[in-house]
């Protein structure tokens, strides 16, 4: 079971039909919508300010979400995919956005609807990424526009796939071989 820690009188709130990996850590002022998946070794640290996550969001293995005390919050829309080992710090991610593996998105940055942040990118503080834009690099720069329908289709597919993957963990595992055999 995930480590869920109330802090300063505020307990995390988890929506319906969510998968929380057994070693995910969720602390304090965190609200997670429905049909979300929070994967292995992920940390959602709502200890110094709030983290709000929409519906059908997947936050993949090793990601860290945190904020600045009394200065920044995290807001994530619906149908968002956060890749493996992503760091989000006090930023806003709109619906249908995709944050690629290993990316960093800093305080007061904003990623628009259907936008894509390439793997390994660093989105600096206060950067505004518009709807349906692809950004990449360190620091991240605009690369090109993404066709809205293609972005929507891709992000719905990824969000749906992660919902499906998360359901595998609630199924009985017949025929599993114990370690060492």
pLDDT band at 140 (very low <50, low <70, confident <90, very high): very high
Identify which has the larger pLDDT, 63 or 159. 63
How many residues in total does the chain contain?
181
Judge whether residue 175 has pLDDT over 90: no
Identify which has the larger pLDDT, 48 or 155. 48
* DSSP symbol at 178: P
- CATH of the structural domain 3-97+148-167, one choice from 1.20.1740.10, 2.160.10.10, 1.10.10.410, 3.40.50.300: 2.160.10.10
Cis peptide before 93 (omega within 30 of 0): no
Q: Are 119 and 101 in contact (CB under 8 A)?
A: yes
Q: Are 9 and 27 in contact (CB under 8 A)?
A: no
pLDDT band at 172 (very low <50, low <70, confident <90, very high): low
Summarised one tens digit per residue, pLDDT across range 62-95 is: 999 999 998 999 999 999 999 999 999 999 999 9
- The verdict on pTM exceeding 0.85 is yes
User: Once rounded to an integer, what is the mean pLDDT over residues 12-19?
Assistant: 97
Which residues, 6+ apart, have CB-to-CB distance to 36 below 8 Å? Answer: 15, 18, 19, 53, 55, 56, 57, 58, 59
Judge whether residue 2 has pLDDT over 70: yes
* DSSP symbol at 7: B
Judge whether residue 12 has pLDDT over 90: yes
Instruction: Write out the H or E segment, with its range, that includes residue 150.
Output: helix 148-168
| pLDDT of amino acid 23 | 96
User: Once rounded to an integer, what is the mean pLDDT over residues 48-63?
Assistant: 97
């Amino acid at each position: 079971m995930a480590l869920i820690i109330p802090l300063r009188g505020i307990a995390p709130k988890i929506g319906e039909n969510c998968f929380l990996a057994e070693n995910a850590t969720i602390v304090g002022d965190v609200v997670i919508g429905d049909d979300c998946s929070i994967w292995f070794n992920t940390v959602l640290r709502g200890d110094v300010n709030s983290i709000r996550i929409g519906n059908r969001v997947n936050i993949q293995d090793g990601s860290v979400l945190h904020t600045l005390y009394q200065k920044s919050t995290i807001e994530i829309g619906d149908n968002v995919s956060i890749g493996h080992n992503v760091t989000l710090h006090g930023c806003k991610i709109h619906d249908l956005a995709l944050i690629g593996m290993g990316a960093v998105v800093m305080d007061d940055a904003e990623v628009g609807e259907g936008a894509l942040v390439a793997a390994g990118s660093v989105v600096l503080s206060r950067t505004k990424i518009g709807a349906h834009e692809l950004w990449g690099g360190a620091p991240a720069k605009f690369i090109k526009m993404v066709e809205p329908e293609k972005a929507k289709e891709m992000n719905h597919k990824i969000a749906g796939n992660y919902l499906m993957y998360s359901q595998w963990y609630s199924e009985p595992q017949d025929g599993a071989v114990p370690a060492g055999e």
